Amino acid sequence: MWPVLVAIRRLGGAARIEEIDEAVIAAEDFSDDQLAVLHKDGPRSEIEYRLAWSRTYLKKMGMLTNETRGTWVTTGLGQTVSEEEVEPLWRQCLTDIRERRRREREAAERAGTDPDVDGDGDDETSDWREELLEALFAMHPSAFELLAERVLKAEGFIETNVTGRSGDGGIDGTGTFLISLVSFPIYFQCKRSRGTVGPDVVRDFRGAVSGRGDRGLLITTGTFTAGAVAESKRGGGPKVDLINGERLCNLLKKHGLGVSTELVEKVRVRAGFFESLGAD
C-alpha cells in the first residue's frame, strides 16, 4: 500500500490506474518473471491484483478517493500519513470491517434477510474483469479485431478500418483520431495474451508503423513488461501507446460493449438525524 500511495503523490496527487501501476512497478523494480506470475492462472497478473487491493484498502482507510472512474486521488490523510502509520491503520481498518460485517450478519439474522457482504466494496477487485477477459479469449481473432475497432470508434476515432490481411507487418487496422481541428492517423495491433507482452513485440510493431505514421496503438488482454513500456516511449521512431487487459476491460465497461452495470439501491437509516432534532 505504501508504494501505491508514494506513486500517486509523485504523480501530483491524482493518477489513473495504468499510471499508478507503471510507477509502482518501476519503483519496486519488479522483474519480468515476477510480472508474468498470473493470479489464479490468469488472466490478470498477481501484481495487478495486489495493486488493485492496495488501492481498495487505501480508499477504505480514507487515504484515497476515486469519484472519477479510473482516477485515484489522495485525500488530506493520504498526503500526510507516514510509512510507519500505514500498517497500524490498515490493521484497524480490518478490525472495523470485521466488526461491521458481524453487526450486519446479526441484523440480517434478526430480520430474516441475507446480509450485505460488503456493500461499499470497490469493483476493481471483483471477478467481472476475469470473466470478461475469458470471453475475449473465446472470440475468433478477427472478431477480437472488430471489437477493438468498436472501442476506438467509441473513443472518438473516425475512418477506422480493420485490414484483415496477413503479411501486413503486424498491423491489424487503422484509424484517425480527431482532436478539435487536428487529426492524425493511428495504426493498431491486437495481441491476445494471458501473460506479459515484452519489448520485442513493441519493437516489431514500431518497425511496422515506421514509415507509415507517427503513432501506433498496441492492445492486449495481458500486461506489458517494464521493458515493453520503455520500448514504447523510446525515441527515434513512432510512439506506441499501450492498452493492457485491465484498461481494455474498463473501456468496454465505459462504453457498454458487452458489459452492463446494475445499480443496487442501499437504504441506510441515520438515527443521529432524528436525535439532532430534539424536542420542543
Q: Please provide the DSSP assignment of 92-136 as one string.
A: HHHHHHHHHHHHHHHHHHHHTS---S-TT--GGGSSHHHHHHHHH
Give the pLDDT confidence score for residue 121 in this predicted structure: 43
- Binned at pLDDT 50, 70 and 90, residue 76 comes out as very high
Cα(103)–Cα(107) distance, rounded to whole angstroms?
Answer: 6
Give CA angle at 202 (187, 26), nearest 5°. 125
pLDDT digit string (tens) for 183-240? 889 999 999 888 888 999 999 999 999 888 889 999 999 888 888 988 998 888 889 9
Query: Which cell numbers in the block locate residue 189?
Result: 495491433
Residues of the chain with CATH 1.10.10: 1-119
Give the pLDDT confidence score for residue 203 in this predicted structure: 92
Tell me which of 3.40.50.2300, 3.40.1350.10, 3.60.15.10, 2.40.30.10 is the CATH number of domain 132-254: 3.40.1350.10
Residues of the chain with CATH 3.40.1350.10: 132-254
Give the pLDDT confidence score for residue 280 in this predicted structure: 53
pLDDT digit string (tens) for 79-103? 999 999 999 999 999 999 889 888 8
Residue 163 pLDDT exceeds 70: yes
Poorest-pLDDT segment among 60-69, 96-105, 109-118, 133-142: 109-118
Give the pLDDT confidence score for residue 59 in this predicted structure: 93
Cα(139)–Cα(145) distance, rounded to whole angstroms?
Answer: 10
What number is the average pLDDT over the span 154-160? Answer: 91
Torsion sign over Cα 193, 196, 197, 200: negative
Pinpoint the alpha helices (H) of 112-257. Answer: 128-137, 141-154, 199-209, 226-233, 245-254
Which of 77-81, 100-104, 106-110, 160-164 is predicted most confidently? 77-81
Q: What is the CATH number of domain 1-119?
A: 1.10.10
What number is the average pLDDT over the span 5-33? Answer: 91
pTM, 2 dp: 0.70
Cα(107)–Cα(110) distance, rounded to whole angstroms?
Answer: 5
| Cα 132 to chain centroid, rounded | 13
240: closest CA among 222, 223, 217?
Answer: 217
